[in-house]
């Protein structure tokens, strides 16, 4: 089965150790690794990616996810090109509105218009174009012959449309259910139509909340647990999760809390929105996503609490290395 599987890795260890962990992800058979861009971690994602690039040869590498609030678009373009020089053809720049990173400095997430301007600006800079910032004309002094692709992380329906309009690809947090995936693709097409382009070369990566464990029943209690006090996993990182669940036929109120989720409903949510269970159960879910939804590229996002956000995803790496990735290759 032709399925690309990327995994999210936090900078939960000193950067040299994190870079070595990422090298082990390549050995395990993953297609790519994304590292969160959280300045409050005290460890920089781009320095970590550069170290990981030197320790790998095939792995695709990307921030998961940068934003135009904490980093200016020209800074992001320069960082992307720098990584491209280290690992040509293995880098993609992923940009979203900002989640924890903007919240920790008391800033709101980037608006739809800010995202439009940022993605457009970054792509033009990476092509070597000269632009004006506050009346000052400038350009990148060095660019690659093949510009680094710029992906947009999109959770809400309007952000998904914008990705189809302005980005090279999208990281979509919409779940894996056939109806939700079809609805997201329709939104991408609406955005593409606005800019008069087709999506022939557009790449869609499906962000997939994942809990892999030998206790499958425990792993599938994800919808019945809290991300942090007062916030359900079902509304992290945003309530847009509920929009896509409704597209999948699962209608939950905006203020839903874990103790309101029945065991039967939790099963339906787990099947619709991510990979939860034993390695064998997750393999079966991923195969269904491929055959029923046409999904061919996922970004595994190991679930965690707010406090556990920097735990290394060792159980997921082992489950994919030993069972899931070999099973997909059959």
Domains of the chain: 4-329 (3.20.20.30)
Distance CA 288, CA 238 (A): 26
Q: What is the pLDDT of residues 60-90, one digit of tens each?
A: 999 999 999 999 999 999 999 999 999 999 9
123, burial (CB in 10 Å: exposed 0-12, middle 13-18, buried 19+) = buried
Cβ 70 vs Cβ 38: under 8 Å: no
pLDDT at position 5 is: 98
Q: Which residues pair with 34 in a beta bridge?
A: 8, 62
Mean pLDDT of the 201-228 span: 92
The mean of the pLDDT values for the chain is 95
Give 231 or 178, the one with higher predicted confidence: 178
Distance CA 76, CA 150 (A): 10
Q: Give the closest residue to 275 by CA, choosing from 311, 300, 294, 244.
A: 300
pLDDT at 260 over 90: yes
Quote the tokens at residue 100: 């924890």
pLDDT at position 305 is: 65
**How sure is the predictor about 226, in pLDDT bands with cuts at 50, 70 and 90?**
confident
Rounded to the nearest 5 degrees, what angle is found at the Cα of 114, between the Cα atoms of 186 and 120? 70
pLDDT at position 308 is: 60
Burial 28-66 (b: 16+ CB within 10 A, else e): bebbbbbbbbbeebebbbbebbbbbbeebeebbbbbbbb
pLDDT at position 198 is: 92
pLDDT at position 59 is: 98
How many Cβ atoms are within 10 Å of 285's Cβ, its own excluded? 20
**What is the DSSP-derived secondary structure letter of residue 44?**
-
Distance CA 266, CA 232 (A): 13
Cβ 119 vs Cβ 161: under 8 Å: no
Quote the tokens at residue 303: 């679930």
pLDDT at position 306 is: 63
pLDDT at position 330 is: 84
**How sure is the predictor about 310, in pLDDT bands with cuts at 50, 70 and 90?**
confident
Distance CA 248, CA 269 (A): 9
Cβ 94 vs Cβ 151: under 8 Å: yes
Mean pLDDT of the 215-227 span: 90
Q: Which residues pair with 277 in a beta bridge?
A: 212
Distance CA 208, CA 175 (A): 7
pTM of the model: 0.96
Cα separations (Å) of 228 from 91, 122, 235, 256, 258? 33, 34, 11, 14, 11
Q: Which of 161-175, 198-212, 296-310 has the weakest average pLDDT? A: 296-310
pLDDT at position 60 is: 98
Helical pair 178-194 and 279-293, crossing angle rounded to 10 deg: 50
pLDDT at 307 over 70: no
Contacts of residue 246, Cβ cutoff 8 Å, sequence gap at least 6: 252
Percentage of the chain modeled with pLDDT above 70: 98
Strand locations in 235-304 (E) = 275-277, 297-302
Assign 137 to helix, strand or coil. strand
pLDDT at 265 over 70: yes
Q: Is the peptide bond before 65 cis (omega within 30 degrees of 0)?
A: yes
Give 229 or 142, the one with higher predicted confidence: 142
pLDDT at position 2 is: 86
């Amino acid at each position: 089965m032709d399925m690309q599987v990327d995994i999210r890795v936090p900078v939960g260890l000193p950067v040299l150790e994190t870079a070595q962990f990422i090298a082990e992800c390549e050995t395990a058979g993953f297609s790519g690794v994304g590292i969160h861009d959280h300045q409050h971690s005290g460890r920089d994602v781009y320095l970590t990616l550069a170290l990981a690039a030197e320790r790998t040869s095939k792995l695709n590498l990307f921030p998961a996810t940068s934003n135009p609030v904490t980093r200016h678009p020209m800074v992001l373009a320069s960082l992307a090109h720098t990584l491209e020089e280290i690992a040509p053809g293995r880098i993609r720049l992923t940009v979203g509105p900002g989640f924890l990173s903007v919240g920790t400095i008391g800033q709101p997430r980037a608006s739809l218009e800010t995202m439009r301007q940022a993605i457009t600006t970054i792509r033009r800079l990476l092509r070597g174009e000269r632009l004006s910032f506050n009346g000052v004309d400038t350009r990148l002094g060095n660019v690659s012959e093949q510009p680094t692709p710029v992906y947009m992380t999109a959770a809400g329906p309007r952000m998904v449309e914008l990705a189809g309009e302005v980005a090279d690809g999208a990281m979509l947090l919409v779940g894996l259910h056939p109806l939700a995936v079809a609805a997201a693709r329709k939104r991408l097409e609406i955005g593409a139509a606005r800019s008069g382009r087709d999506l022939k070369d557009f790449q869609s990566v499906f962000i997939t909340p994942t809990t892999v464990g030998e206790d499958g029943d425990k792993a599938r209690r994800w919808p019945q647990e809290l991300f942090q006090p007062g916030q359900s996993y079902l509304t992290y990182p945003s309530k847009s999760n509920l929009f896509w669940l409704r597209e999948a036929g699962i209608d939950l109120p905006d203020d839903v809390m874990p103790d309101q989720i029945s065991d039967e409903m939790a099963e339906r949510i787990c099947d619709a929105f991510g990979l939860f269970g034993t390695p064998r159960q997750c393999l079966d879910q991923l195969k269904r996503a491929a055959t029923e939804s046409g999904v061919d590229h996922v970004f595994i996002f190991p679930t965690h609490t707010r406090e556990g956000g920097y735990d290394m995803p060792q159980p997921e790496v082992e489950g994919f290395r030993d069972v899931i990735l070999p099973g997909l290759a059959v």
